[in-house]
Structure 1
Amino acid sequence: MNLISLDIRVLRSLLAVIEAGSITEAARRLGRTQPAITLQLQRLEDVIGKALFTHEGRRMALTPNGETVVTYARSILRLHDELLARMLSPDIQGDVVLGTPDLYAAFVLPEILAIFRKAFPHIKVELRCALSTPLVEMVQNRKIDIALVTRMNDFTGGQVVRREQLIWMTGQNSEAHLEDPVPLALLPPGNIYRDHAIECLERAGRRWRIACESESVGGLQAAAFSGMALTVLGRSALTPGMKELMPDQGFPALPKVDLLLYKSQGPTSHAAHALHDYLAHYLGLDQPD
């Protein structure tokens, strides 16, 4: 059997197109020309012998084969970059304090931090969980080194590294979504998850009440699992035993929210730089379609 090889640069271009949503935007981000990216994708299809995209007007959609290739491409690039970081990075040592809401600590960061620990075994990461607003203040006041937070309406600065789709969810056997008014389990006032949930229900003419208010995602999940309420969280938090509620059930589609990555201003350690760059890379690489 004749073995073929896939160019890492082509796989990176493929993921850039998926993440950016268009060849034009991917070319801009990569500093390449649009024809060059298009040619790379065509060569990838020629090598694989399968179509990766279908064209729906101006929108490019992945074929089933394309989805398979993207899944493998993410894994290949993750291992490729982990190897290079492990072999080529200096033997960095130090301590880093990373702040993030517990939602992201539980459902977004574990795999990425596990990879980071393998690549940089001498860096100690301290994780602090809090709501997004105080975390931004902490990183700006240099009380923590890095913060991964949800963009709130009054936030400035930060790097957009991911977009998280918000969804309605409740326990698998819960009937809370059938109640009137709708019982909600939400984060405290001032949180954009809460704002979007209430705004969507009011636009749909649905009555609602607060059945649970918690600063912790664990509290929201407990209320949903028990059948007390439904909640709004990122799709990454949809775990076994929970179900997503759809528009045809009376729950309008929710928007996506931006995840922002902040790094403390002023002198920062090599360890903090390494973790910041790792998070920025892998959060984008693992972006859900």
Structure 2
Amino acid sequence: MAVLLDIDQLRTFIAIAETGSFTKAAEAVYKTQSAVSMQMKRLEERIGKAIFERDGRASKLTEDGERLLDYARRIVKLNMDAINAFSETELTGRVRLGVPDDYADRYLPEIMARFSQSNPRVEVTIVCEPTPMLVDRILASDLDLAIITHVEHKGPAEFIRHERLLWVTSNRHSVHEETPVPLALGRVNCNWRQAAIDRLETLGRAYRVLYSSWNSTAVGAAVLAGLAVSVLPESAIRPGMRVLGPSDGYPPLPSCKIGLLRNWRERTSLADALADLIIQSLDNLASQSEAAE
């Protein structure tokens, strides 16, 4: 007889994957840590594979655990969809979404328009802050969802979009030829900032951080004014900016990965509905996979 997977065990499993620890997951799903451990033991027995391995103090997924995570998310989502399909009550209430300001400029207009059209009685509260602050807000249950730059050490988010990270300068100035090269970047714990500095240091190229801000508009203003070079995802390139490459002395950068974090402590049908729409709006992974074949 086929073994059926338990929805509650899968939800707990997802919470562990999202938070990176059994302790945090226990808080998220309102269970004791021993209950969470027992659920995961039974889940491993059901599938006949180990799904976790220790990584210091964190709980890291095995290769089989990574495979199960994809199925678990789909199964839990389908379960919620089935429940919602037979509910005649129109969605109402409030959902809280966090998003960095540069993503807000590019993605929120479509997301808000589509969500408002299908859920006119729902209030959406938007919080614009950098990724590290949004991660903390999710863990504190101050948000229901957050669109973030994918940060593995903060716990795995749902990876929903992939873009090239590019060097940019003004197309009317030659500030990129200066030595040391002036930079406009995010704050010191910004992943993109660290990637840019690492690449320049590897080349032995002198630089100075002239402008530092979490605000993408401020960084973009420094670039457009011809005051500094910066790094931006491909979709954030604005008129008046020029992309720099190896021929200009600027090496390739790592890709920009965008993820979605959910608050597993207070998961609601509202949050799931908005999450589905965000994934539909931002997902470019399928088209990339098809193009690579």
TM class by shorter-chain length? 0.5 to 0.7
The match for 1:155 is 154
- CA shift at 1:238, angstroms? 0.4
- CA shift at 1:269, angstroms? 2.7
**What CA distance in whole angstroms lies between the structure 2 residues aligned with 1:160 and 1:89?**
32
1:184-234 alpha-carbon deviations (Å, 9 max, x no partner): 000011111001101111122211101100110011001101111010011
Which runs of 4 or more aligned residues in structure 1 lie more than 6 Å from their structure 2 counterparts after TM superposition?
A: none
- CA shift at 1:286, angstroms? 8.0
Q: Look up the equivalent residue of 2:164 and give its one-letter code.
A: Q
Q: Look up the equivalent residue of 1:263 and give its one-letter code.
A: R
Q: Look up the equivalent residue of 2:95 and give its one-letter code.
A: V
User: Would you say the 8 A contact 2:138–2:262 is kept in 1?
Assistant: yes
Distance 1:218 1:137, change over 3 A: same
**What CA distance in whole angstroms lies between the structure 2 residues aligned with 1:287 and 1:109?**
21
The match for 2:101 is 102
Q: Look up the equivalent residue of 2:222 and give its one-letter code.
A: A
- CA shift at 1:90, angstroms? 5.5
**What CA distance in whole angstroms lies between the structure 1 residues aligned with 2:256 and 2:142?**
25
**What CA distance in whole angstroms lies between the structure 2 residues aligned with 1:139 and 1:89?**
30
When normalised by structure 1's length, the TM-score is: 0.66
Whether 1:215 and 2:214 are equivalent positions in the alignment is yes
**What CA distance in whole angstroms lies between the structure 1 residues aligned with 2:100 and 2:216?**
9
1:126-166 alpha-carbon deviations (Å, 9 max, x no partner): 11111101100101110111111112352213211111211
Output aligned runs, 1:110-125, within 5 Å.
Answer: 110-125=109-124
Structure 2: runs of 5+ lacking an equivalent: 1-69, 72-83, 289-293
1:58-95 alpha-carbon deviations (Å, 9 max, x no partner): xxxxxxxxxxxxxxxxxxxxxxxxxxx9xx99521111
Distance 1:263 1:153, change over 3 A: closer
Distance 1:89 1:132, change over 3 A: farther
**What CA distance in whole angstroms lies between the structure 1 residues aligned with 2:228 and 2:88?**
48
Of residues 229-238 and 202-211 in structure 1, the stretch that sits farther from structure 2 once superposed is 202-211
**What CA distance in whole angstroms lies between the structure 2 residues aligned with 1:269 and 1:245?**
44
The match for 2:268 is 269
The match for 1:282 is 281
Q: Look up the equivalent residue of 2:228 and give its one-letter code.
A: A
- CA shift at 1:101, angstroms? 0.6
**What CA distance in whole angstroms lies between the structure 1 residues aligned with 2:88 and 2:247?**
51
**What CA distance in whole angstroms lies between the structure 2 residues aligned with 1:287 and 1:170?**
31
- CA shift at 1:267, angstroms? 3.0
**What CA distance in whole angstroms lies between the structure 2 residues aligned with 1:250 and 1:274?**
45
User: Would you say the 8 A contact 2:168–2:229 is kept in 1?
Assistant: yes
User: Would you say the 8 A contact 1:167–1:245 is kept in 2?
Assistant: yes
**What CA distance in whole angstroms lies between the structure 2 residues aligned with 1:263 and 1:186?**
28
- Between the two proteins, the alignment pairs up a number of residues equal to 206
Output aligned runs, 1:234-249, within 5 Å.
Answer: 234-249=233-248
**What CA distance in whole angstroms lies between the structure 2 residues aligned with 1:288 and 1:176?**
36
User: Would you say the 8 A contact 2:93–2:121 is kept in 1?
Assistant: yes
The match for 1:178 is 177
Structure 1: runs of 5+ lacking an equivalent: 1-28, 31-84
Output aligned runs, 1:1-289, within 5 Å.
Answer: 91-285=90-284, 289=288
**What CA distance in whole angstroms lies between the structure 2 residues aligned with 1:176 and 1:107?**
26
User: Would you say the 8 A contact 1:94–1:269 is kept in 2?
Assistant: no
Q: Look up the equivalent residue of 1:159 and give its one-letter code.
A: E
Q: Look up the equivalent residue of 2:243 and give its one-letter code.
A: E
**What CA distance in whole angstroms lies between the structure 2 residues aligned with 1:225 and 1:263?**
35
User: Would you say the 8 A contact 2:110–2:281 is kept in 1?
Assistant: no
Q: Look up the equivalent residue of 2:101 and give its one-letter code.
A: D
Provide the secondary structure at the position in 2 that maps to 1:116: helix
Distance 1:133 1:281, change over 3 A: same
1:241-274 alpha-carbon deviations (Å, 9 max, x no partner): 1111111111111111221111112233321121
User: Would you say the 8 A contact 1:145–1:272 is kept in 2?
Assistant: yes
Provide the secondary structure at the position in 1 that maps to 2:227: coil
Distance 1:210 1:285, change over 3 A: closer
Provide the secondary structure at the position in 2 that maps to 1:170: strand
Distance 1:94 1:111, change over 3 A: same
Q: Look up the equivalent residue of 2:272 and give its one-letter code.
A: H
Q: Look up the equivalent residue of 1:179 and give its one-letter code.
A: E
